[in-house]
Amino acid sequence: MRRRNLSGLTTAACALMLLAGLAPASAADSGREANRHRSHHERAYRTVGYFTQWGVYGRDFQVKDLETSGTAAKLTHVNYAFGNVSAEGKCFTGNVPGEADAWADYARPLDAAGSVDGVADTDSQPLAGNFNQLRELKAAHPGLKVMISLGGWSWSTHFSDAARTAASRKALVSSCIDLYIKGNLPVDGARGGEGAAAGLFDGIDIDWEWPGSAGDTDTVHRPEDKRNFTALVHEFRTQLDAYAKSRPKGGTKPRHYELSAFVPTAPTKIDAGFDVRRVMRDFDFVNLQGYDFHVSGEAATAQQSALYAEGDFSVDGTVRDWVRRGAPARKLVMGMPFYGQGWTGVTGGGDGLGQPAAAPAPATYAAGYEDYKALRKLAGSGQYTVHRDNRNGHAWLFDGTTLWTYDDPQVLRAKTSYIRDRGLGGAMFWSLDGDTDDGELMTAVDRGLSGH
């Protein structure tokens, strides 16, 4: 269910890659702390981090880790990955292996040590799990927004069907708003019920991969997806705005629910699925694919996230392609990887880049895919040499046999400078569990966007 390459991988290659604070001491201190949080969360640049539902298991990456690492104070948005769409064209949850995980979402109890607020969940509270922890995180960081991200590589299966008619689009959007924005969760023992998650989600992120183009092996796509996607986005905008206006105003303006999407790099995929000028009117922002330009299922090593690359996919090329088609630069948020792509059995000598490889490199969770925190250790082990292309903005590790291409703080500083120079909307990260325990990458981005 993680991000996938969109540059024309074979089915075999795709298959290879799918194997996955202390409280202030006084009122004055409290005021200063609140101002510090406001300065981070209400600044001009968006910093959007994906939190993966399944990361709480084998990776043991919990919502609390966003607090202890200092990352939460540097984020404007947390995108919760993912929500699923059923064959009937509705947003849903439950405990269905490979399809939905209500246990992780809102049923799993956390003890005091694992909770953001240091208080253990009770057996009777209607909201537990990741959703309750995200609610606690928002309470600790005023202004932090949480978005539900729908789809992803594995769960985009039924988007095309659900978007085919005006009636089906209305039904899909209504179900998503009911489940996530209104927070009407299915009852799961003592958990869930009407309004159980109300107020948690501040908007919806559409991760349909990809309208009009091939995605995962079972994902349906049609030529009319482009037209239907445009209509679906507008339906989301219309219903979100209508619900915001229906809420009690209390003397203030109606609340605005944000709408975003994860969008591709390849021009063929942009043109097949995105009427850019029209959809950008309804989106608050879009997260640009800034990684997986090349993946470890390919037969030769290559960069996966270069800032510039002549005759190849790159961040700069992606930005230019979206701006050229009518996207406002201020609504473009640059995707950055908190992981690397790796190959082993590399031959041909030199620095290893652009050379034949035998297979994806062995890794902690899935061959060919490794978290930054693990690659950082490799970089300091003395076994690997760190190589850099400073002109084009990317880095890689090579030990003569195995190569990993990845972003480190030096690369991210170059990318944040680019964001500031080009007037882009900010930075996005897939995914937050790949960073170090002290949030090294997040800190580099935070400082870079601040001009430090």
Q: Residue 113: which CATH number?
A: 3.20.20.80
- Verify whether residue 67 is a known catalytic residue: no
Residue of 42, 136, 194, 209 marked active site: 209
- In a domain, residue 3? The reply is no
List, for residues 73-97, the tens digit of each pLDDT value.
999 999 999 999 999 999 999 999 9
Write out the two tokens for 330.
Answer: 């201020």
- In a domain, residue 433? The reply is yes
Domain of residue 300: give its range.
11-338+408-449
- In a domain, residue 91? The reply is yes
Write out the two tokens for 365.
Answer: 């969770």
Q: pTM for the complete prediction?
A: 0.91
- In a domain, residue 427? The reply is yes
- In a domain, residue 395? The reply is no
- In a domain, residue 369? The reply is no
The span from the CA of 264 to the CA of 4, in Å, is 10
List, for residues 344-377, the tens digit of each pLDDT value.
999 999 999 999 999 999 999 999 999 999 999 9
Give 213-252 as a DSSP string: S--STT----TTHHHHHHHHHHHHHHHHHHHHHHS--TTS
What does DSSP say about strands 332-337 and 285-288: parallel, antiparallel, or unpaired? parallel
List, for residues 21-54, the tens digit of each pLDDT value.
333 333 334 343 444 444 444 458 999 999 999 9
Report the pLDDT value the prediction gives residue 29, as an integer from 0 to 100. Answer: 41
List, for residues 148-204, the tens digit of each pLDDT value.
999 999 999 999 999 999 999 999 999 999 999 999 999 999 999 999 999 999 999
Q: Is there a contact between 178 and 205 (Cβ–Cβ < 8 Å)?
A: no
Q: Is there a contact between 396 and 303 (Cβ–Cβ < 8 Å)?
A: yes
How many percent of the chain have pLDDT more than 90? 88
Count of structural domains, the chain: 1
- In a domain, residue 381? The reply is no
- In a domain, residue 380? The reply is no
Compute the mean pLDDT over every residue in the chain, rounded to the nearest whole number: 92
